[in-house]
Structure 1
Amino acid sequence: MRLPRENRRFGRAVPSPAQIRAAIAGEASATAGLKAARRARAVSAAEPPDAAAGLELGSGQDTPDTPVPDPPPPVPRDLTAAAFFDVDNTMVIGASILHFARGLAARKYFTAGDVMGFAWHQVRFRVSGKEHVASVASGREQALSFVAGRETAEIRRLGEEIYDELIADKIWTGTRALAQLHLDAGQQVWLVTATPVELAEIIARRLGLTGALGTVAESEGGKFTGRLVGDILHGTAKAQAVRSLAAREGLDLRRCTAYSDSHNDVPMLSVVGNAVAVNPDQDLREVAKARGWQIRDFRTGRKAAKIGVPSLLGAGAVAGAVAAGMSHRRGA
Structure 2
Amino acid sequence: MSLAIFDLDNTLIRGDSDHAWGEFLVREGVVDADAYQRANDRFYQAYLDGSLDIHRYLAFALEPLARHEPAELEALRRRFMSECVEPMGLNAAFDLLRRHREDGHTLLIITATNRFVTQPIADWLSVDDLIATEPEMVNGRYTGRVSGTPSFRDGKVARLEAWLEGHHHDLDTAWFYSDSHNDLPLLERVGHPVAVDPDPTLASSARERGWPVLSLREA
TM-score by length of 2: 0.89
Partner of 1:120: 42
Inter-partner Cα distance in structure 1 for 2:38 and 2:185: 30
Aligned partner (choices 150, 160, 174) of residue 78 of structure 2: 160
Unaligned ranges ≥5, structure 1: 1-79, 302-332
* Residue equivalent to 2:19: 98
Tell me the SS of whatever aligns to 1:248.
coil
Shift of 1:232: 2.8
Q: Which residue of 2 aligns with 1:247?
A: 165
Contact residue 90 and residue 172 of structure 1 kept, 8 A: no
Q: What amino acid is the match of 2:60? A: Q
Cα contact 1:98–1:115 (8 A) shared by 2? no
Match 1:175 to one of 93, 98, 103: 93
Pair 210,154 (structure 1): closer, same or farther in 2 beyond 3 Å: farther
- Paired residues of 2:179 and 2:199 also in contact (CA < 8 A): yes
The alignment of Structure 1 onto Structure 2 pairs a total of residues equal to 218
Change (3 A) 1:169 1:145: closer
CA deviation string 1:248-273 (max 9, x = no partner) = 11112222111000111011212221
Cα distance in 2 for residues equivalent to 1:209 and 1:137: 27
For residues 107-130 of structure 1, the C-alpha deviation after alignment (integer angstroms, 9 at most, x for no partner) is: 32113321342023213432x2x1
Runs of 4+ in 1 over 6 A off after TM superposition: none
CA distance in 2, matches of 1:116, 1:81: 42
Match of 2:31 in 1: 110
Higher relative contact order (CA 8 A, sep 6+): 1
**Which residue number corresponds to residue 269 of structure 1?**
187
Say which of 101, 105, 115 aligns to 1:197.
115
The separation in 2 between residues aligned to 1:214 and 1:202, in whole angstroms, is 12
Residue 325 (structure 1) aligns with? none
Q: 2:156 is aligned with what amino acid?
A: K
Partner SS for 1:251: coil
TM-score by length of 1: 0.60
Q: Equivalent residue of 2:152, what SS?
A: coil
For residue 124 of structure 2, the aligned residue among 199, 202, 206 is 206
Instruction: Give how far 1:144 is off.
Output: 4.9
1:278 counterpart = 2:200: no
Residue-by-residue CA offset, 1:308-331 (whole Å, 9 max, x unaligned): xxxxxxxxxxxxxxxxxxxxxxxx
Q: Which has the higher strand share?
A: 2
